Chain A
């Protein structure tokens, strides 16, 4: 498989439907050409062309305006080199296996893939020996997801062998760099065979880049009784665009836990799509969104059961300050054959300014009749009594507010496996609300 970059960039300047069609053509023109995988890519391309780009008339994008994205033209991604010193702040000493992608291209010099633990195979899409699972997880027909499939240059492939437990977290680091606004399409595929276990940290960051568009997709495929702890951290540049899908399938008795943090981007969207394909699975979805200034951060999760005796817990928290806006739309679908499902979903939101806004829509669609399901949503401001309690113990008002916000965020951040990173991210949250 070889990769070539098409340097042609066309900036659109029309309006409405034509405008979006022109913009889509512009995005498609930025696709790096890639030989191999033509069947998967061709079928994705026809989905993209058939569906077209959404507007806020589409129910799924009702609260999140894409016009800012559609007004920005992006060039095709170009390979760029960074030094280890330049990415030093993102390297996690406690995650010895690291795959780094710069502008969507694998960066072997920045990665650490020697001395792999037993049972872990790591490769890039460009040289993987088997890609049978690629493009076959749920949610692949969503237009930006399909656009990624039609556009990616390379990606990470992790394979955890049957009965193997990989102890240390595996770090997938997707970086964007450069002065030119580019569109990148990071792609990941994680296959956990039966009875295996692993922890992933998937992270999106910028190094000396401001305006760019990351359109990311990660597929996770859990075999019987497999366990994946997945931590997804989006801390792109504040002026960047980020749309990402996490597509997960779970076989019988498997356990999947996602912790997702969205801190960056002027417009960001994350779509976790999880389908337990058999019985007795367990799914945990935890999310934290921080949106400040004029940021718009959207999370659309979709969990659809297909068998009985499954459990799921979801907690999504948003902290919104200034004029920012957060969106949470969490769908849990419990069809007739998913009897004995036990699912809970909670959306908790903290608004720090009068102009901040959150649109939250937890949705439980239950057709089965023998289930235990609960959901709820809360929206609040900082509690004056709590602030006073802390002040009465000597903390000034700002420190008291910081501590309360930290407490709100920590409930999600503390689920990350590496202490050093937890502290970095808590600091990142606090520095943005000050």
Chain B
């Protein structure tokens, strides 16, 4: 939803980043305002996932230039956990399995670390249990998954739902979904998309990273950006995604060359 004069949540200026000495991001610019849903599309290897990891603070990526201002502060100065607590949430493309750590305990620790940051009282096991059961409904998740180890033995779809459940509990200001649609069957995709739509509010923003148009049928973006070779080449509305679906990515790159 595009709202006139809404606050800028994320402002990325000329961002460059390396992984292991290899430049991946090569001057990326992006601005996201409250209430907006953005999609970044692009072929494999264009730097989409790197961008999401850089925003979340993954230590394997080194920012070599540019700036990222999130809610008026320099995001790049913050540790990954500080970014999370201040409202940046990355739904992982491949959520990790953590054997021996109960999903419920993990969710509670995570939720309470954010509450503590916000000066709220931590929730005890009983209050948290009530909250999490209410939020399970966002992704139609079976409560039995709470008692299992984090993502252990979950199917691809279950892992993605668990990510959206975490998002429902942490209520981020900026939700970054890294290929949340990959590996999902159509029913799981609808459930995940429906969950994301329920969580999108006028005071937060969503950034989806995908290379398929399919997800955008369910989560309708306000802006679609096409990324290739470490930067955003072109930006348009939701119809740009359909054009990409029909023509592929090459025409964007060619137009860039022509410009």
Contact = CB atoms under 8 A, between A and B. Distances in A.
A binds B: yes
B98 A394 contact: no
B78 to A, nearest CB: 11
B154 interface: no
Given A391-B79, A394-B85, A394-B117, A406 B166 contact: no
Most buried by B among A386, A392, A404: A392
B80 interface: yes
A393 B79 contact: no
A194 to B, nearest CB: 36
Contacts of B106: 390, 393, 403
B84 A384 contact: no
Interface size class of A (residues with CB under 8 A): 20 to 34
A396 B96 contact: no
A385 interface: yes
B84 A392 contact: yes
B100 A395 contact: no
Contact of B109 (A403, A407, A411): A403
A408 interface: yes
Nearest to A404: B98
A90 interface: no
B96 A389 contact: yes
A429 B258 CA distance: 63
B203 interface: no
A399 B57 contact: no
Given A388-B59, A403-B109, A406-B101, A393 B96 contact: no
B95 interface: yes
B79 A396 contact: yes
B98 A389 contact: yes
B81 A395 contact: yes
Interface in B54-88: 56-60, 79-81, 83-85
Contacts of B101: 403-404, 406-407, 410
B172 to A, nearest CB: 10
Most buried by B among A392, A394, A414: A394
Contacts of A396: 79, 81, 113
B86 to A, nearest CB: 10
B97 to A, nearest CB: 9
Interface string A394-428: 11110110011011111100100000000000000
B219 interface: no
Interface string B83-112: 111000110100110111100001001100
Given A399-B109, A403-B109, A407-B149, A392 B57 contact: yes
B100 A393 contact: no
SS class, residues of chain A in contact with chain B: helix
B80 A407 contact: no
A281 to B, nearest CB: 28
Contacts of A409: 100
A397 to B, nearest CB: 7
B114 interface: yes
B113 A407 contact: no
Nearest to B100: A407
A79 B246 CA distance: 88
A391 B170 CA distance: 13
B57 A395 contact: no
Given A391-B79, A393-B110, A406 B100 contact: yes
Most buried by B among A384, A388, A404: A388
Contacts, number: 78
A399 B84 CA distance: 14
Interface residues of B, number: 29
Most buried by A among B95, B100, B109, B149: B100
B56 to A, nearest CB: 5
A386 B98 contact: yes
A3 B213 CA distance: 84
Contact of A411 (B79, B83, B92, B99): B99
Contacts of B81: 391-392, 394-397, 400
Nearest to A410: B100
A395 B56 contact: no
Nearest to B60: A384
A393 B166 contact: yes
Contacts of A407: 98-101, 149
B80 A388 contact: yes
Contacts of B85: 394
B99 A395 contact: no
A188 to B, nearest CB: 30
Contacts of B79: 391, 396-397
Contact of A394 (B92, B95, B96, B170): B170
B176 to A, nearest CB: 10
Interface in B209-246: none
B80 A391 contact: yes
A393 B88 CA distance: 9
A395 B84 CA distance: 9
Interface in A263-299: none
A411 B100 contact: yes
Given A384-B59, A407-B149, A393 B98 contact: no
Contact of B96 (A386, A399, A403, A408): A386
Contacts of B170: 393-394
Contacts of B99: 407-408, 411
Contacts of A390: 98, 106, 110
A399 B114 CA distance: 14
A414 B149 CA distance: 12
Nearest to B112: A394
Interface in B147-171: 149, 166, 170
A389 B84 CA distance: 11
A192 to B, nearest CB: 31
Contacts of A410: 100-101
7 contacts: A388-B56, A389-B98, A392-B56, A392-B90, A393-B106, A406-B101, A407-B98
Given A384-B59, A393-B84, A407-B149, 13 more contacts: A384-B60, A388-B58, A389-B92, A389-B96, A391-B57, A393-B113, A394-B113, A395-B113, A399-B109, A403-B109, A408-B99, A410-B101, A411-B100
Q: Which 3 A-B pairs have the closest CB atoms?
A: A407-B100, A394-B113, A391-B80
